Amino acid sequence: MKKIVCTLFALILIVLSGCVGAEVRLVAYRPPSCGTWHGYIYVNELMGIQFELPETWFIYTNEEIVRWFYIPRDFLSQSVVGSLSGHDDIGIDAIDMRARDFFNNNNLTIYSQALSTISNEPISELEYLHLSATHMHNEMGDIFQNIEIKETPRQIGGINWYYMIHDIQGGFVSARFVSVRDGFLCTVSIAILEGDIQDIDEIWERFTEIDPKFQDVEGLIPVMKDIPSFVYHGAWNEHVYTNPSLNLKLSVPTYYSITTNRGLAGAWGLSATLYGDGLISNYLWVEAIQTGNIIPVMHTFNPGETSVTLFVRRKPLGMREFSLEKQLLMYLENDEAVWRDRGADAKVYATPRTVEISGHQWLTGRVVMPSPGFEFMADTFITMVDNHIWLLQTESNNEYELQKILSMFSQIPE
């Protein structure tokens, strides 16, 4: 579950650049002017734009952009405009800025591509968008849906930005704004989970003309602020788990196995040293945000039959809210997709209900994987406590065991 959305977006970014998997030779088509950061304000003089990023968003450093997104790609010069292109060399797009709200999976990427890597003949923004839309439809039509190109541009400081919008499998709505500047096709790509064009507009309206005080001024990438946390990951005392953040106590039979923090961290690609002494450290929050993870805090299981896992995810104040119902459905559909990829005939049980665990109300739903003579069930419970999303997942091959697990929870005695 932990990285599916993140991986999908990386795939989308590659496809939007026209990748068809061919071996390419890299050519340095770096734009003459890259963007700079002034606090949380991004300025790009080539594009004539500045953008103020919400402080709760994460900004990728240049090193992170190279590691995660600066991938050799076969561009429209070969896959779409091949008959127009006389170049033997394939260019690469220069991803100049990448920012993400990991809590709501909103994504912003700014990059540019030399027109000479697209065609040896003049090509306009609309021609590029139409060719790109055809490529997206032909190559991955099941992922990109409802593609719509807007013929009327939006303007920033008199500069035209033509754009197209479309839906992306997995619940994203995406918009790509393009403008030709000094021989480069400049692109602003916005993708929002569970959103619509109004949400795209909210981000686009943050782009303005460049304030003269930022022109010809060196800038620095801001450092993400610490994420204050008073959340405890809980602790085991033999076969009793207590979590003071939830006022939760779980007593499991002695034949259950218990996964240590080190084991949890290793399974999710996190550092066990960042769990701290009881409290989830700020560093672990930041690491989880960067990797797109929710943080696992407890796991216990009866081998081959039953497992219980508790996760936590921070929800910052002031961010666009998603209802617990929507979040629960997202997790259930994600689990359904994971089990189907494993060959199981998984199905979401789509009637959420509310149960009380340790004094909190949890919304719950189920994914069922039936097979001849056997039925495997996975229940997901979700609640919000002190601005943190808590996710509890139980898995078993029979209803009795699942109900038995619920009876193991209680409140911590005062």
Rounded Cα–Cα distance for residues 300 and 307 (Å)? 6
List b or e across 63-75, with b for residues whose CB sees 16 or more CB atoms inside 10 angstroms: eebeeebbeebbb
Q: Is residue 280 part of a domain?
A: yes
- The CATH number that applies at residue 265 is 3.40.1000.10
Structure tokens that stand for 67 in this block = 């590691």
Give yes or no: residues 200 and 281 share one domain. no
**pLDDT value for 33:** 52
Evaluate whether residue 267 is within a structural domain: yes
In a domain, residue 229? The reply is: no
What's phi and psi for 166, nearest 5 deg? Answer: -165, 165
**pTM (predicted TM-score):** 0.57
pLDDT digits (tens, 9 = 90+) for 161-172: 999 998 877 678
* Domain finish residue from 159, 183, 214: 214
The contacts of residue 34 (CB under 8 Å, 6+ apart) are 44, 46, 94, 96
pLDDT at 149 over 90: yes
| 12 within some domain | yes
Q: Which residue, 150, 180, 214, sits at the end of a domain?
A: 214
Separation of alpha carbons 367 and 369, rounded Å: 7
Q: How far apart are CA 168 and CA 191, in angstroms?
A: 9
- pLDDT of 286 reads 67
CA distance 245 to 236: 14
Same domain? For 86 and 153 the reply is yes
In this structure, the answer to whether residues 137 and 14 fall within a common structural domain is: yes
Cα–Cα distance measured from residue 267 to residue 260, given in angstroms and rounded to the nearest whole number: 11
Q: What pairs with residue 172 in β-bridges?
A: 168, 193
Residue with tokens 């991986």: 7
Residue 350: HSE in the Cβ half-sphere, 13 Å Cα cutoff: 7
> From CA 364, how far away is CA 357, in angstroms rounded?
11
pLDDT surpassing 60 at residue 325? yes
The answer on 259 and 202 residing in a single domain is: no
Largest CA distance in the chain: 77
Strand 240-243 versus strand 360-371 pairing type: unpaired
Q: What is the DSSP letter of 232?
A: B
pLDDT band at 141 (very low <50, low <70, confident <90, very high): low
Range of the domain at 24: 4-214
Range from 3-7, 20-24, 142-146, 317-321 carrying the lowest mean pLDDT: 20-24
240 and 191 in a common domain: no
Helix ranges, 35-119 (H): 62-68, 76-79
Clarify whether residues 353 and 243 are in a common domain: yes
pLDDT of residue 55: 67
- In this prediction, residue 224 carries a pLDDT of 56
pLDDT in the model for residue 382: 95
pLDDT surpasses 60 at 199: yes
Which residues are registered as beta bridge partners of 104? none
Q: How far apart (Å, rounded) are the C-alpha atoms in residues 32 and 336? A: 47
- In this structure, are 210 and 241 located in the same domain? no
**Residue 108: partners with Cβ closer than 8 Å, 6 or more residues away:** 51, 53, 57, 97, 98, 99, 100, 188, 189, 190, 203
CB contact burial 137-171 (16+ within 10 A = b; e otherwise): eeeeeebbeebebeeebbebeebebbbbbbbbebb
223 belongs to a structural domain: no
In DSSP notation, 356-384 reads EETTEEEEEEEEEEEETTEEEEEEEEEEE
Least confident of 150-159, 310-319, 337-346: 310-319
Answer yes or no: do 165 and 26 share one domain: yes
What confidence score (pLDDT) does residue 36 get? 85
Same domain, 52 and 190: yes
Residues 25 and 145 in one domain: yes
Q: Is the pLDDT of residue 344 over 60?
A: yes
Q: Indicate the range of 27-31, 32-36, 199-203, 360-364 predicted with least confidence.
A: 27-31
Mean pLDDT for 338-352 is 81
Q: State mean pLDDT over 199-205.
A: 91
Domain count of the chain? 2
Output phi, psi for 409, to 5 deg. -90, 145
Q: Is residue 266 part of a domain?
A: yes
> Based on the domain organization, do 267 and 303 belong to the same domain?
yes
**Same-domain check for residues 195 and 307:** no
What tens digit of pLDDT does each residue of 266-323 get? 888 777 777 777 888 767 776 776 666 788 999 999 987 899 999 998 764 444 566 8
Burial of 391 (0-12, 13-18, 19+ CB in 10 A): buried
Per cent of the chain over pLDDT 90 is 32
* pLDDT at residue number 146: 86
Euclidean distance between CA atoms 365 and 407, whole angstroms: 18
44 is a domain residue: yes
The residue assigned the tokens 């993870």 is 293
In the numeric block, which tokens belong to residue 252? 């499991």
pLDDT in tens, 87-130: 333 234 467 888 887 656 688 989 888 888 777 788 899 999 99
